[in-house]
Structure 1
Amino acid sequence: MPTQTTGSLTAQPSKTPSTVTGLLSDMSTIGKDVVRGGYTRPVYSTAELELREWFIDEATQRGLSVEADRNGAIWAWWDTAEKDRTNALITGSHLDSVPGGGPFDGPLGIASALVALDILKSRGTNPTRPLAVVVFPEEEGSRFGVACLGSRLMTGAIDPDKARNLRDSGGNTFAAVAKANGLDPRFVGRDDQLLGQIGQFVELHVEQGRGLIELDQPIAIASSILGHGRWRLRIHGQGNHAGTTLMAARRDPMVAASRTVVAIRDTALQQAHARATVGRLQPVPGGTNVIASRVDFWLDVRHPDDAVTAAVVQSIHQQAQRIAAEEGCVVSLTEESLSPTVHFDTGLLHQLQQALPNAPILDTGAGHDAGILSAFVPTAMVFVRNPSGISHSPEEHVLDEDAETGAKALADALETLLA
């Protein structure tokens, strides 16, 4: 992957803006998952790397200066004549996906950002401060288990040593994978120079809920992100033979894990507005005729009140300990990532309301790079309607007309902020 390509957007000949649906169509064959359905594009996979190259090509065609930072994010800059990148206006999203995800989570924001720049250029806009589109890596955390890893590294929200030692399902460390893909793992971590260049960040994203369906609106402005985190539960039992070990003599961690999953569901139901999910479970060694010796499973908990999130996790841990003991097992709980509730910058929110006066205000239960950046720079989000109300699934959807409306709304917002 090239680290830099120079160019000037204003030097390119005028042309009709691309469409979001056209750019998404260009990506539609990359990373298709024939087993799960949808798309599987973990960070630094063949599919995600192909999408990175696609983005670099699209940005270069637009005359943008393309650079990769020390943490693997790609920045495509529309520079001013002075080449001064202070107080820059940034938009963008991510290209990686959850396993079997939909086609819009991440790529919609990237395609819309490129089209928004096309629209600004067609309007004759010459920005008085730099504007850039960024692609953050490992937003979903589907490979190394930590969501928004690229933005966490850039802001210092994760310790670099912890990040370097993260492992994927194949046992590969993040440090090794990063090095194989052109990064020097010694230098991953907080980037004060880059952070200091960002004046504002606006992320467009498909809505991952039903808010816009119920409001019958194509776009909305985000107000907040629910606090959320990920924890790994590990239950140790006794591995043994499925045919020779009597039921009464078993210390089966799979039984303990199953009972704990039900307890997690029941705990969340008892707390208003709480969400608790187990979406991934791995028995070891994983044989059909083998009683597992260990079961690992991952817990996602979310709530608008961070204190309630902590209380829910504590209650789940206590119940898991009780259940494990009853099954002759032991359990441990490890926090993998935690993001407090985010309230987006009120001044920037007001500016977006001026640019998009008909857009309603919504909160969201989904995490985003914008949420990580919000502790360091003024940050905002624009949501585009998802008529299925379903996300992290092949059933995720955006109507063509809503996709184009979203890109125009992003262009209007960026133009207002540039002014």
Structure 2
Amino acid sequence: MLAEIADVGRDPVRGGYSRPVFSSGERTLVDWFTDAATRRGLDLTVDRNGIVWAWWNPAGAPLQDAVVTGSHLDSVPGGGAFDGPLGVASALRAVDVLQARGVQPARPLAVAVFPEEEGSRYGVACLGSRLLSGVLEPERALALTDADGVTYAQSLTAAGLDPAAIGRDDETLGRIGTFVELHVEQGRGLIDLDAPVAVGAAILGHGRWRISITGQGNHAGTTLMADRRDPLLVAAEVVVAVRRIAGRHPGARATVGRIQPVPGGTNVIASRVDLWLDARHVDDLVTAAVVAEITAAAQGAAAIEGCAVEVRQESLSPTVDLDPQLGARMARTLGGAPVLDTGAGHDAGVLAARVPSAMLFVRNPTGISHSPEETVEDVDADRGALALADVLADLLADGAPAERP
């Protein structure tokens, strides 16, 4: 199945794949999913937040207390082939296995595809699940703009969705009894454990901040060095400070992955520079301390250069402990699979506050993710899909859903 989409959204400049939400590449993958789900006899619905649901409900049971699996199909710029699509393809493969085994689910099973999980176009990760669960206000989401000035409201309209309808959806949430997300591991945990599959335990708290540095735009050739108020110089100081400050806090991760000078001309001193900070730690107080120290460093560097700094939080997710009873049950089903924490955010982490949620991770032999070097070997992809099928079969055999948070 992954081979069927291997050419969709390839990025000739960055390498890997660039499939931002509502782009032609991401929409092609959604069409691929709906076609694959239809071939399996699944019933398709799209909720008002743009989440695509493929239902397997041969018993005709009410759409409640369902076992739900799935992931996302959008990517970061120049991302790997497996971050998102592996979870969707594995869910479809798991349905194949369950149907071949003759499983007759007493509860509905759904495969879900969530939009804008990466936040690569509109800056807020897990946007679909945040809207569904009420974590993000619709007004804020609709006003988000991409690099070309296109609002999220405009993208929804172009995709055939009603911007006025997005937001917390208790009816759809009430249909989910249990959520299990399979994902490529975005680190080295399974390499070091020499295991193909693990059960997720916790998702580190993380957030994104935009740091805007304002100086004086001017001519690169006529402005003496002593007369400059260069925000790009301050930005460089901030990038170095991020690495230094995060290193003082064991377990912290802080990154500047995007810098945007305005106007961005080769012979122009920038008037403003925006840079985006990603900060994470298992202890949310440490994350806050790291960001506060980085903010102070930015303000100090700006004062020396005669610039101004504004730091705005764009998203923040506290550390999430996935459902421990559900995780323990899954580990037993899989014969004692190892249990891992992750530093990457996922829709399962957002939904965990509303429904019992868990994750499965599949080994990545490079340990590299958000990069074309992200890899999953065929044998491990198959092991992951079979592990998911075993977990789903166990959950579907139990008519009673897990206790909701």
Q: Same fold by TM (over 0.5)? A: yes
1:232, distance to aligned residue in structure 2 (A): 0.2
Match among 7, 13, 26 for residue 29 of structure 1: 7
1:98, 1:210 → 2: CA distance? Answer: 20
**Alignment pair present for 1:284 and 2:262:** yes
Q: Which residue of 2 aligns with 1:11?
A: none
Residues 368-387 of structure 1 aligned to structure 2 (within 5 Å): 368-387=346-365
2:177 partner amino acid: G
Please name the residue that 1:343 is paired with. 321
Distance 1:83 1:32 in 2: 41
Could you tell me how far apart the structure 1 residues matched to 2:321 and 2:335 are? 20
Q: Which amino acid aligns with 2:340?
A: L
The residue number in structure 1 matching 2:368 is 390
Amino acid in structure 1 at the alignment position of 2:106: T
Cα deviation code 1:13-59 (max 9, x no counterpart): xxxxxxxxxx0000101000010000000000000000000000000
Asked if structure 1 preserves the Cα contact closer than 8 Å seen for 2:187 and 2:369, the reply is yes
In the TM superposition, residue 296 of structure 1 has moved relative to its aligned partner by 0.3
* Displacement after TM superposition at 1:83 (Å): 3.7
Alignment of 1:113-152 (within 5 A): 113-152=91-130
Q: Which residue of 2 aligns with 1:66?
A: 44
Alignment-mate amino acid for residue 274 of structure 1: A
CA displacement at 1:117 relative to structure 2: 0.5
Residue 20 of structure 2 aligns with which residue? 42
Which range moves more in the overlay, 355-364 or 158-167? 355-364
Q: Residue 402 of structure 1 aligns with which residue?
A: 380
Which residue does 2:144 correspond to in 1?
A: 166
Post-superposition shift, 1:358?
3.2
1:388, 1:395 within 8 Å by CA — same for their partners in 2?
yes
User: What do residues 198-257 of structure 1 show as CA deviations (whole Å, max 9, x unaligned)?
Assistant: 000000000000000000000000000000000000000000000000001000000000
C-alpha contact 2:61 2:107 (8 A) present in aligned 1: no
* CA distance, structure 2, for counterparts of residue 50 and residue 173 of structure 1: 21
Deviations 1:154-212 (A, max 9, x none): 00110110000000000011001111111110010000000011000000000000000
- Aligned twin of 2:29: 51
How far 1:350 moved relative to its partner?
1.8
Specify which of 288, 298, 307 is matched with residue 329 of structure 1.
Answer: 307
Shift in Å, 1:354: 1.9
Partner of 2:189 in structure 1? 211
Instruction: For residues 370-389 of structure 1, give each alpha carbon's deviation from its aligned partner in whole angstroms, at most 9, with x where no partner exists.
Output: 00000000000000000000
Establish whether residue 97 from structure 1 lines up as the match of residue 70 from structure 2. no
Residue 403 of structure 2: aligned partner: none
* Aligned partners of 1:236 and 1:253 also within 8 Å: yes
Aligned residues: 397
Q: Supply the distance in 1 between the matched residues of 2:29 and 2:320 (Cα, whole angstroms).
A: 29
Q: What residue in structure 1 maps to residue 203 of structure 2?
A: 225
Could you tell me the TM-score, scaled by structure 1's length?
Answer: 0.94
CA separation in 2, counterparts of 1:379 and 1:90?
A: 9
Structure 1 runs, 4 residues or longer, greater than 3 Å off: none
Alignment RMSD (CA, Å): 0.6
Amino acid at match of 1:94: H
| SS of the residue 1:55 aligns to | helix
Amino acid at match of 2:133: T
Residue of structure 2 equivalent to 1:367: 345
1:242 and 1:340 map into 2 onto residues whose CA distance is 43
**TM-score, length of structure 2 as denominator length:** 0.97
Could you tell me whether the CA contact under 8 Å between 2:61 and 2:106 is conserved in 1? no
Partner of 1:191: 169
What amino acid is aligned across from residue 201 of structure 1 in structure 2? F
Within 2, Cα distance between the matches of 1:245 and 1:308?
42
Quick check: 1:102–1:395 contact (8 Å CA) kept in 2?
yes
Does residue 262 (structure 1) correspond to residue 240 (structure 2)? The answer is yes
User: Contact 1:153–1:190 (CA<8 Å) still a contact in 2?
Assistant: yes
Q: Aligned residue for 1:320?
A: 298
Q: Which amino acid aligns with 2:243?
A: R
CA distance in 1 between partners of 2:219 and 2:122 (Å): 32
**Aligned-partner Cα distance in 2 for 1:230–1:44:** 22
Deviation for aligned residue 1:357: 1.9
Partner of 2:283: 305
CA contact under 8 A between 1:80 and 1:129: conserved in structure 2? no
Is the contact made by 1:219 and 1:382 (CA closer than 8 Å) also made in structure 2? yes
3-state secondary structure, aligned to 1:308: helix
Quote the Cα distance in structure 2 between the aligned partners of 1:264 and 1:248: 26
SS in 1 for 2:395: helix
Where does the alignment leave 5 or more consecutive residues of structure 2 unmatched? 398-405
Query: Which deviates more from structure 2 when the two are superposed, residues 354-363 or residues 394-403?
Result: 354-363
Match for residue 154 of structure 1 among 124, 132, 143? 132
Q: Give the Å deviation of 1:80.
A: 3.9
Identity of aligned residues (%): 63
Alignment correspondent of 1:356: 334
Aligned pair 1:177/2:177, yes or no?
Answer: no
Match 1:107 to one of 77, 85, 89: 85
Contact 1:351–1:417, Cα closer than 8 Å, also in 2: no
Amino acid at match of 2:16: G
Is residue 2–residue 86 contact of structure 2 (8 Å, CA) maintained in 1?
yes
Q: CA deviation at 1:81?
A: 2.2
2-structure distance, mates of 1:62, 1:161 = 37
Give the gaps of 5 or more residues in structure 1. 1-22
Residues 114-146 of structure 1, C-alpha deviation per residue, up to 9 Å, x if partnerless? 000000011000100000000000000000000
